Amino acid sequence: MSVRVIRVVLLIALCCAVSRAAAAQEIYVANFGDGDVSVLDAGTMATVARIPVTNVADPAIDVSGYPSAVVFSADHKLAFVALSLAQHVAVIDTAKRRVINYIDVQAVSFDALVFLHPSGHKVYVTSCENPTISVIDVSTQTMTGTIALPSGSYPMAFSPNGRTAYVGNGYADCGAANGIYRVGLSTGKAEGFIPTSGPVSDVAISPDDRLALASGTNRVVVVDVATSTETAAVMCGLTPCTYVYSGGLAFNAAGTRAYVIDFQANTLSTINTDRLSPLYLQELSRVPVFAEQGENAWQVAVRQDRAIVAVMGFPGHVISFDISGDIPVAISLDPVGTYAYEFDIWTRPTSEADCKNLGWTTLGGYKNQGNCLNFAAD
């Protein structure tokens, strides 16, 4: 690519803070260009705090770098913030809303991302050009190991049982080969490579662990997890759907729908991933995502009947879509910080039904279905 796309990570995390009795669900946003993290009230979408993370936000901080991803611990007591062009992960105390620690990790250059393991015990840090993934123990807040790959690491997704990680490769100088590494998390080693027909900018694993979708070109490709092979592409009728540049991907909790962003065209598409449907792997709709000139939609996350899309800009913004039907409807647009764009969601279940049929794996931060049910009962 002649122009390198900055993939700054906006993590939107909806959570319930236990130490502040009045606190409702919150959204955390990593602002790459501002060096801080925005805290939004998820009900009103109003910004309630901005937490300085690096010397970009506060010259008194002796840590440099650019916040490019954030993920909550399973209990929401901590938020881990990956810093691009640095060698630290910042740790935020969510009750005090301030950084309490900086964890030394492998030096990262560009596009550092951070992912919480389904067990809640470990956090993984990837970084585009860098072939080494840092492994952080959540309880001790220290780097306990690394995972070496033949080339760079970028998006990461986990199998529902947490035994395997899928790490995308080839996007915008993020590794030399187009495809997805299968990483055994018990061994900490790459155990296979799934070649794809193009670079991978995002990867999503279906809740039943049978299907992977990968974006990064003018297609969304389909991977059979059992055979580790690319088998198809998302279709628009009789031909593969064409995008200018496919980006963020997400499944719904049931695994019957997936959603993809076209980064260049600024659209959100709905994909039928219901194996029992005659329209399996067909695109059902494509709607515009509001973006000004020079702004780009990048990432999407899905929770219950909402899809939240982050748009990179100066400042950026997030858009909430109602996805109760197969044509998403935008219902809110709210500003965030400078060039914040990828996100993840930590949300409290509203009923026990949200936790069942693997729903707990998509809510974010729950160790198992029982853990999710405990939150639903509170």
The stretch 248-267 carries a mean pLDDT of 95
pLDDT beyond 50 at 8: no
Nearest-CA neighbor of 258 among 362, 121, 114? 362
- In the chain, the percentage of residues whose pLDDT exceeds 70 is 85
Mean pLDDT of the chain: 85
**pLDDT for the residue 269:** 98
pLDDT beyond 60 at 106: yes
**pLDDT for the residue 165:** 97
**pLDDT for the residue 4:** 41
pLDDT tens for each residue of 176-209: 789 999 999 999 999 999 999 999 999 999 999 9
Q: Domains plus CATH for the chain? A: 26-347 (2.130.10.10)
**pLDDT for the residue 342:** 55
The stretch 73-100 carries a mean pLDDT of 93
Answer with the residue of higher pLDDT: 42 or 24.
42
Answer with the residue of higher pLDDT: 12 or 218.
218
Whether 113 contacts 9, CB under 8 Å = yes
The stretch 91-97 carries a mean pLDDT of 94
**Distance in Å from the first CA to the final CA of the chain:** 50
pLDDT tens for each residue of 224-251: 999 999 999 999 999 999 999 999 999 9
Nearest-CA neighbor of 198 among 171, 224, 160? 171
Confidence category of residue 377, pLDDT binned at 50, 70, 90: low
Phi/psi for 377 (5° steps) reads -80, -20
pLDDT beyond 80 at 354: no
Whether 158 contacts 205, CB under 8 Å = yes
Lowest-confidence pick of 157-171, 274-288, 359-373: 359-373
pLDDT tens for each residue of 28-82: 888 888 999 988 776 666 788 999 999 999 999 999 999 988 998 888 889 999 9
- Among 133-147, 310-324, 362-376, which range has the highest average pLDDT? 133-147
Answer with the residue of higher pLDDT: 153 or 136.
136
Which pTM does this prediction carry?
0.86
